[in-house]
Amino acid sequence: MRKDIITNFMLINLVLFFLSCSSEPGDIPLNKVVPSPQQIEYQQMELIGFIHFSINTFTGKEWGHGDESPELFNPTELNTEQWVQAAKDAGMKQLILTAKHHDGFCLWQSKFTEYSVKNSPWKNGSGDVVREFVDACRVHGLKAGLYLSPWDRNHPDYGKPEYLVYYKNQLTELLTEYGPISEIWFDGANGGDGYYGGANEERRIDRENYYNWEDIWSYVKSLQPNILIFSDAGPDIRWIGNENGFAGETNWSMINSDTIIVGAADQNYLNTGDPDGKNWVVGECDVSIRPGWFYHESEDSLVKSPQQLADIYFKSVGRNGTLLLNLPPNKKGLISENDIQSLREFRKILNETFSRNLALGAEIKSDNIRYEHEKFSPVNIIDGDKNTYWAADDGIIKNTIELMFDQSITFDIISIQEPVRFGQRISKFTIECLINNKWETVAQGTTIGYKRLLKTENVTTGGIRFNILEINNTPAISEFGLYKSTPAEKTGDKFN
Ligand code: FUL
Ligand code: CA
């Protein structure tokens, strides 16, 4: 090699070396199991709504038998924009509509059955609730999801291979004619007695093999690559194992999907997830604002209170899940005033509670800061930006982050978030406070994940220690907050 070339080569290397010293270090190492970008975006929505609306709305049943006349479906003032507005005002970012429930009645003009709105008096048989629903979602900037019950108590072929052709045809209609659908909901309830085209008998299916779920899921993704699929087993979103809206206090976003039989899953496993799970499958907590999933006049006085809804939020979103809250429209085709009132107050409670992070302004330090670099500084956990984070050096297991205050603060809610794009890591932590010059443990927990909310007694303190005690990889925290709940939450008083 010529001498001048060697010198140039060395010079370039020297420049590169200095550049790498001054540039930002990369992110922390990834876990083996991490969410997809769609799953991250999904979980950040936090709050989504369910719309159970069908022939049951008019018969007062929860599960139609499949022989109810389509003529019963006749909402007098149906207004999907009213649904979407109510959901949006409550802070929901997506709505999911029951396009077909177990009774088999279709809310759209399906070419493959007569059991649909096309034989209803509503709009002289030319209406399409699915269309009006997705249109309203789009107008107001909400994502639209659909529920297509695998169980069909109307269809003559249910339980036979022919029904699966029908089922896929319906999926094709819903996923090709209505634009982007963000989530599709596959219910676990399946098989039993029904009308079945007049057979009026009991039909059981082989839950493990009948649907060939893998095949259906890949078909769904071939039609809409960005859609997220919900079922007991995911593959993207899993049922949380109960219909109260409660995730486990320990809740991993990982499970082993292949161990789950849709409709016969271990509910406890779904509730807590699996630290050793191979699949990232976020838990979704479904619950109705009323006792039933469908509207019944007799339940008008049983709408959950704003305080109950706030409690559910803490036990779903605050335990690393999403909250899927059902708002069933009434016979008019509108969400009832009681439900809207409760939703409104619920939103006010959340807004008021989380309006001021009392941790802001604290003097903050950490035992360990990755590379001693500002990219990983603990100040990043109180900057209100979910993308910035504190992290420790690889190999660090236990770490304490300390926040000291000039003036004591009083809080009763702690909020902690992990940057889950790198995976879910923490499995044990405690919170200590400096009270009368002594450090006292005021809260402790296991998993954190996207968000962990903890409630405490009123704590007045000048200092906090957040101790991370067990992890499966380099620990990192994106946000930390201390809040004081609004009096309205405890007393049940209404806002003005
Ligand atoms: C259940 C169904 O049987 C209920 O009717 C409701 O749709 C609920 C969300 O899922 O499995
Ligand atoms: Ca941050």
- Dump pLDDT digits (tens) for 360-393: 999 999 999 999 999 999 999 999 999 999 999 9
Same domain, 71 and 186: yes
Which ligand 1 atom minimizes the distance to the CA of 189? Answer: 11
Flag whether 7 is in a domain: no
Give dist(CA 226, CA 285) in Å, integer.
Answer: 21
Flag whether 94 is in a domain: yes
Give whole-number Cα distances, 379 to 360, 389, 398, 426, 439, in Å: 9, 8, 19, 19, 22
Neighbours of 287 (CB within 10 A): 22
Same domain, 292 and 425: no
Flag whether 482 is in a domain: yes
Of all residues in the chain, the percent with pLDDT exceeding 90 is 92
pLDDT tens for 397-426 read 999 999 999 999 999 999 999 999 999 999
pLDDT of residue 12: 58
End-to-end CA distance of the chain: 83
Same domain, 317 and 387: no
Which ligand 1 atom minimizes the distance to the CA of 52? Answer: 7
At 20, the pLDDT band (50, 70, 90 cuts) reads low
Residue 285 CB contacts under 8 Å (≥ 6 apart), including other chains: 240, 244, 245, 246, 247, 312, 315, 316, 321, 322, 323, 324
pLDDT of residue 488: 77
Which protein residue has the closest C-alpha to ligand 1 atom 10? Answer: 187
Give distance in angstroms: CA of 186 to centre of ligand 1. Answer: 10
Same domain, 247 and 391: no
Q: Is the pLDDT of residue 203 over 80?
A: yes
Residue scoring higher pLDDT (460 or 3): 460
Q: Is the pLDDT of residue 3 over 70?
A: no
Same domain, 319 and 374: no
Which ligand 1 atom minimizes the distance to the CA of 63? Answer: 5
Give distance in angstroms: CA of 480 to centre of ligand 2. Answer: 8
- Mean pLDDT score across all residues of the chain: 95
Testing ligand 1's pocket by substitution, the residue of 62, 244, 284, 293 carrying the most ligand atoms inside 8 A of its CB is 293
Q: Is the pLDDT of residue 495 over 70?
A: no
Q: Is the pLDDT of residue 8 over 90?
A: no
Could you list which residues have their CB under 5 Å from ion ligand 2?
A: 380, 383, 385, 388, 478-479
pLDDT of residue 487: 84
Give dist(CA 323, CA 309) in Å, integer.
Answer: 10
Flag whether 11 is in a domain: no
What ligand has the least distance to the C-alpha of 380?
2
Which ligand 1 atom minimizes the distance to the CA of 101? Answer: 7
**Sign (positive or negative) of CA dihedral 262, 264, 270, 271:** positive
What ligand has the least distance to the C-alpha of 149?
1
Give dist(CA 166, CA 153) in Å, integer.
Answer: 13
Give distance in angstroms: CA of 187 to centre of ligand 1. Answer: 7
Angle between helices 129-139 and 80-89 (to 10 degrees): 40
Residue 70 three-state SS? helix
Same domain, 427 and 332: no
Residue scoring higher pLDDT (249 or 491): 249
Question: Is the shortest distance between the CB of 53 and ligand 1 below 6 Å?
Answer: no
pLDDT of residue 23: 81
Alpha helices in 70-155 (DSSP H): 80-89, 129-139
Q: For 143-162, what is the mean pLDDT?
A: 98
Give distance in angstroms: CA of 376 to centre of ligand 2. Answer: 10
Give distance in angstroms: CA of 189 to centre of ligand 1. Answer: 7
pLDDT of residue 147: 98
Question: Is the shortest distance between the CB of 246 and ligand 1 below 6 Å?
Answer: no
Give distance in angstroms: CA of 334 to centre of ligand 1. Answer: 20
Q: How is 416-430 classified by DSSP, letter by letter?
A: EE--GGG---EEEEE
Same domain, 238 and 330: yes
Question: Is the shortest distance between the CB of 189 and ligand 1 below 6 Å?
Answer: yes
Give distance in angstroms: CA of 360 to centre of ligand 2. Answer: 12
Q: Is the pLDDT of residue 239 over 90?
A: yes
Which ligand 1 atom minimizes the distance to the CA of 98? Answer: 7
Same domain, 110 and 214: yes
Give distance in angstroms: CA of 380 to centre of ligand 2. Answer: 4
pLDDT of residue 189: 87
Flag whether 358 is in a domain: no
Same domain, 75 and 195: yes
Flag whether 2 is in a domain: no
Of all residues in the chain, the percent with pLDDT exceeding 70 is 94
Look at 11-20, 68-77, 100-109, 450-459 and tell me which has the smallest mean pLDDT: 11-20
Give distance in angstroms: CA of 52 to centre of ligand 1. Answer: 9
Flag whether 32 is in a domain: no
Look at 1-10, 264-273, 424-433, 486-495 and tell me which has the smallest mean pLDDT: 1-10
Testing ligand 1's pocket by substitution, the residue of 57, 62, 183, 187 carrying the most ligand atoms inside 8 A of its CB is 187
Residue 369 three-state SS? coil
pLDDT of residue 19: 47
pLDDT of residue 9: 56
Q: Is the pLDDT of residue 485 over 60?
A: yes
Q: For 236-261, what is the mean pLDDT?
A: 98
Which ligand 1 atom minimizes the distance to the CA of 62? Answer: 5
Give distance in angstroms: CA of 416 to centre of ligand 2. Answer: 11
Give distance in angstroms: CA of 492 to centre of ligand 1. Answer: 30
Same domain, 346 and 378: no
Flag whether 122 is in a domain: yes
Residue scoring higher pLDDT (18 or 89): 89
Same domain, 111 and 230: yes
Domain end: 329, 353, 377, which one? 353
Question: Is the shortest distance between the CB of 187 and ligand 1 below 6 Å?
Answer: yes
At 489, the pLDDT band (50, 70, 90 cuts) reads confident
CATH number (domain holding residue 420): 2.60.120.260
Question: Is the shortest distance between the CB of 286 and ligand 1 below 6 Å?
Answer: yes
CATH number (domain holding residue 243): 3.20.20.80
Same domain, 167 and 81: yes
Question: Is the shortest distance between the CB of 339 and ligand 1 below 6 Å?
Answer: no
Q: Domain of 81?
A: 37-353
Give whole-number Cα distances, 23 to 12, 16, 30, 393, 494, in Å: 16, 10, 20, 18, 53
What ligand has the least distance to the C-alpha of 147?
1
> Of 129, 212, 207, whose CA–CA distance to 174 is shortest?
129
Question: Is the shortest distance between the CB of 402 and ligand 1 below 6 Å?
Answer: no
Q: For 427-447, what is the mean pLDDT?
A: 97
pLDDT tens for 278-319 read 999 999 999 999 999 999 999 999 999 999 999 999 999 999
How would you class 297 by CB atoms within 10 Å of its CB: exposed for 0-12, middle for 13-18, buried for 19 or more?
exposed
C-beta of residue 202 within 8 angstroms of C-beta of residue 193: yes
Chain-centre distance for alpha carbon 417: 15
Residue scoring higher pLDDT (2 or 51): 51
Q: How many domains does the chain have?
A: 2
Which protein residue has the closest C-alpha to ligand 1 atom 3? Answer: 189
pLDDT of residue 155: 98
> Of 28, 130, 115, whose CA–CA distance to 65 is shortest?
115
